[in-house]
């Protein structure tokens, strides 16, 4: 005895923009003797396959009008989709108005996001807002007790498997699953349209929809499940190594944001989202050597990123330590051969296209925080000397170098640098003094002479204690945002001890 929730597909409506693999679907339906109705280009496509189909115009008695804006918006179409088959009044009206019921609807949507991405005119973008398609999707999904809705070419494989194994029958569970996917399709589409219009309106609503995803082995810890939602392949080509992990992605994000600050040949090593070594030099090999010297212990198992092509000399040096990920815009053949010696090592080629959007958001409590990305970049012209002694040219270069690093270091943060090289940093401390002491101790442990080095702080100094500690360690120049009512105390100390200090007016907290 057949389950009352099992339905046989007898009649289908097809109206799609993309025709990829549609022939496989049509041939399956034809083999099952399914009666087909279609519109415009889809109808032409079906008929060229030698399969019989009815035009929607023959059903409605109306042609496609308004330049194709109205094709399927008619009671004879939507009545056939929305009619409840177990509802006597609905069945009566189907007969009264000669409306054929549809068991399957296959429809997709105009390429709105692709049109926006192509930077076409607003008129062209608006014309790609689908009306009939989105209405058909919602109608068929709503009536999933009787109708199977296929709302995207991404679902063709699942539909083909269903047609093949069940010979045109569908269960309520099948139809409900496809309905859920249909509402995801319509929700994503409407979100894209809203965000396009809201870019100019700033209506206070948080709406994001990302369909592309990568299942991850686990989250931050093995007992946590995780996925990455986003178009990773738009930014990177992974040419070697194991699957990327949740923690790898966090470090990769931090690495790219940091290296974006630098125009000179630069290499950085990151661990737990913070730089443990970074340097700018004439060659990549020299930059790597200087970056590694910053903290050769923490570099073990870290993320390495360069903003220049990796050559064999750099690769040979990098290959001497264990690390999980290396990122560069390109690699020469010999460098790749060296780096691929470890089968699990993740090798990424960073593409030229833009990275990310203009906003950041994170979930917390029962909501979401949204803010603009911190894209402020300081330069020499924007530095305000607040001491009698001004920094030398070399000190100014080092101050700007250190300030770029402290911007991407977890607060409270202090960075010590010299000759375009990170000597040490203190990060994530509840006290700025603790962050500074951590940095001074670490620099000494790895053999750095801090005489003539500079210090960067991510926030102002409320008291002169930090500049006193820095001065005693050999620091000769300081950069910080300023803004404390006690700024003068720190500047006075610097004046008394022949130190230079500049302020930027821009705070770079990172929590």
- Tell me: the pLDDT tens digits for 316-351? 999 999 999 999 999 999 999 999 999 999 999 999
CB 311 within 8 A of CB 341: no
pLDDT of residue 5: 85
Check whether 357 has a pLDDT greater than 90. Answer: no
Strands ordered across the beta sheet of 11-15:
54-55, 35-38, 11-15, 104-107, 148-150
Check whether 29 has a pLDDT greater than 70. Answer: yes
pLDDT band (50, 70, 90) for residue 171: very high
Check whether 356 has a pLDDT greater than 80. Answer: no
Rg (CA), the chain: 31
Angle at 232 between CA 231 and CA 235, to 5 degrees: 105
Check whether 434 has a pLDDT greater than 70. Answer: yes
CB-neighbour burial class of residue 294 (10 A; exposed 0-12, middle 13-18, buried 19+): buried
CB 417 within 8 A of CB 401: yes
pLDDT of residue 65: 76
d(CA 218, CA 336): 28
CB 170 within 8 A of CB 148: yes
Check whether 2 has a pLDDT greater than 60. Answer: no
Q: Which residues of 168-198 are buried (b: 16+ CB within 10 A; e: fewer)?
A: bbbeeebbebbbebbbebbebbebbbebbee
Check whether 48 has a pLDDT greater than 90. Answer: yes
Detail the DSSP E strand segments found in 186-230. 213-215, 227-229
Selecting among 19, 166, 242, 272, the annotated active-site residue is 272
3-state secondary structure at position 389: coil
d(CA 175, CA 111): 25
Angle at 408 between CA 405 and CA 409, to 5 degrees: 85
Check whether 289 has a pLDDT greater than 70. Answer: yes
- DSSP-derived secondary structure letter, 282: S
Check whether 430 has a pLDDT greater than 70. Answer: yes
Token pair belonging to 217:
């082995």
Angle at 255 between CA 253 and CA 257, to 5 degrees: 70
| Portion of the chain with pLDDT greater than 70, in percent | 98
pTM score, whole prediction: 0.87
| Portion of the chain with pLDDT greater than 90, in percent | 83
Token pair belonging to 244:
């990327």
Detail the DSSP E strand segments found in 284-364. 302-306, 323-328, 346-350, 359-364
DSSP letters, 400-420, are HHHHHHHHTSPSS-EEEESSS
DSSP letters, 148-164, are EEE-SGGGHHHHHHHHH
Detail the DSSP E strand segments found in 121-249. 148-150, 169-170, 213-215, 227-229, 236-240
3-state secondary structure at position 259: helix
Task: Summarize the confidence of residues 120-148 as an average pLDDT.
Answer: 94
| Annotated catalytic residue 272 | yes
Q: For 453-495, what is each residue's pLDDT tens digit?
A: 999 999 999 999 999 999 999 999 999 999 999 999 999 999 9
pLDDT band (50, 70, 90) for residue 3: low
Question: Among positive and negative, which fits the CA dihedral 496, 407, 309, 424?
Answer: positive
Check whether 215 has a pLDDT greater than 50. Answer: yes
d(CA 143, CA 141): 5
Residue 338 to residues 115, 240, 312, 324, 470, Cα–Cα distance (Å): 42, 12, 8, 15, 42
| Annotated catalytic residue 142 | yes
Strands ordered across the beta sheet of 414-417:
384-385, 500-503, 477-480, 454-457, 414-417, 422-426
- Compute the mean pLDDT over every residue in the chain, rounded to the nearest whole number: 93
pLDDT of residue 336: 96
pLDDT of residue 108: 92
Token pair belonging to 143:
């009536």
pLDDT of residue 68: 73
Q: What is the distance of C-alpha 307 from the center of its chain?
A: 20
d(CA 416, CA 438): 11
Cβ neighbours of residue 44 under 8 Å, at least 6 residues apart?
Answer: none
CB 17 within 8 A of CB 152: no
Check whether 398 has a pLDDT greater than 90. Answer: yes
Token pair belonging to 160:
């083909």
CB 196 within 8 A of CB 116: yes
d(CA 216, CA 222): 11
Check whether 72 has a pLDDT greater than 80. Answer: no
Residue 96 to residues 92, 132, 147, 368, Cα–Cα distance (Å): 6, 25, 21, 52
List the beta bridge partners of residue 385.
Answer: 502
Task: Summarize the confidence of residues 378-396 as an average pLDDT.
Answer: 96
DSSP letters, 65-98, are BGGGTBSS-SHHHHHHHH--TT-HHHHHHHHHTT
pLDDT of residue 43: 93
pLDDT of residue 359: 86
Check whether 229 has a pLDDT greater than 90. Answer: yes
Selecting among 28, 76, 142, 497, the annotated active-site residue is 142
Check whether 1 has a pLDDT greater than 60. Answer: no
CB 287 within 8 A of CB 263: no
CB 418 within 8 A of CB 401: no
> Which residue, 455, 476, 449, is CA-closest to 403?
455
């Amino acid at each position: 005895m057949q389950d009352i929730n099992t339905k046989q597909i007898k009649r289908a409506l097809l109206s799609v923009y993309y025709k990829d693999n549609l022939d496989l679907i049509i041939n399956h339906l034809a083999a099952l003797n399914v009666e087909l109705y279609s519109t415009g280009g889809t109808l032409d496509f079906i008929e060229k396959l030698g399969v019989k189909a009815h035009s929607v115009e023959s059903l409605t008695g109306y042609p496609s009008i308004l330049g194709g804006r109205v094709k399927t918006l008619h009671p004879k179409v939507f009545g056939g989709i929305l009619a409840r088959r177990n509802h006597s009044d609905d069945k009566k009206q189907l007969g009264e108005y000669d409306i054929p019921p549809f068991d399957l609807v296959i429809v997709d949507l105009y390429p709105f996001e692709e049109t926006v991405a192509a930077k076409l005119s607003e008129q062209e973008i608006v014309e790609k807002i689908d009306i009939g398609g989105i209405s058909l999707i919602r109608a068929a999904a709503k009536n999933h007790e009787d109708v199977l809705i296929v709302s995207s070419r991404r679902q063709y494989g699942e539909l083909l498997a269903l047609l093949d194994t069940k010979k045109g029958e569908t269960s309520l569970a099948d139809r409900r699953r496809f309905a859920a996917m249909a509402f995801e399709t319509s929700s994503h589409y409407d979100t894209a349209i809203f965000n396009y219009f809201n870019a100019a309106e700033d209506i206070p609503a948080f709406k994001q929809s990302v369909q592309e995803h990568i299942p991850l082995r686990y989250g931050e810890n093995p007992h946590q499940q995780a996925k990455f939602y986003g178009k990773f392949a738009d930014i990177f080509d992974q040419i070697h190594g194991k699957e990327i992990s949740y923690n790898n992605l966090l470090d990769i994000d931090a690495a790219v944001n940091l290296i974006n600050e630098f125009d000179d040949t630069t290499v950085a090593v990151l661990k737990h989202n913070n730089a443990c070594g970074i340097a700018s030099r004439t060659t990549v090999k020299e930059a790597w050597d200087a970056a590694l010297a910053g903290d050769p212990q923490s570099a073990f198992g870290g993320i390495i990123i360069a903003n220049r092509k990796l050559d064999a000399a750099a690769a040979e040096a990098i290959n001497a330590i264990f690390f999980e990920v290396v990122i560069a815009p390109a690699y020469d053949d010999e460098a790749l051969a060296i780096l691929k010696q470890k089968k699990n090592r993740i090798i990424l080629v960073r593409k030229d296209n833009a990275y990310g959007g203009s906003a950041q958001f994170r979930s917390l409590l029962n909501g979401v925080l949204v803010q603009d990305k911190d894209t402020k970049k300081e330069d020499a012209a924007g530095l305000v000397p607040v001491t009698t002694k001004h920094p030398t040219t070399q000190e100014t270069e080092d101050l700007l170098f250190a300030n770029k690093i402290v911007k991407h270091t977890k607060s409270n943060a202090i960075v010590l640098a010299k000759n375009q090289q990170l000597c040490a940093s203190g990060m994530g401390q509840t006290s700025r003094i603790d962050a500074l002491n951590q940095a001074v101790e670490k620099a000494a442990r790895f053999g750095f002479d801090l005489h003539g080095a500079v210090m960067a702080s991510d926030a102002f100094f409320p008291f002169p204690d930090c500049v006193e500690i820095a001065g005693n360690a050999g620091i000769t120049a300081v950069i910080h945002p300023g803004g404390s009512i006690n700024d003068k105390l720190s500047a006075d100390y610097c004046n008394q001890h022949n130190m230079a200090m500049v302020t930027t007016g821009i705070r770079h907290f990172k929590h």
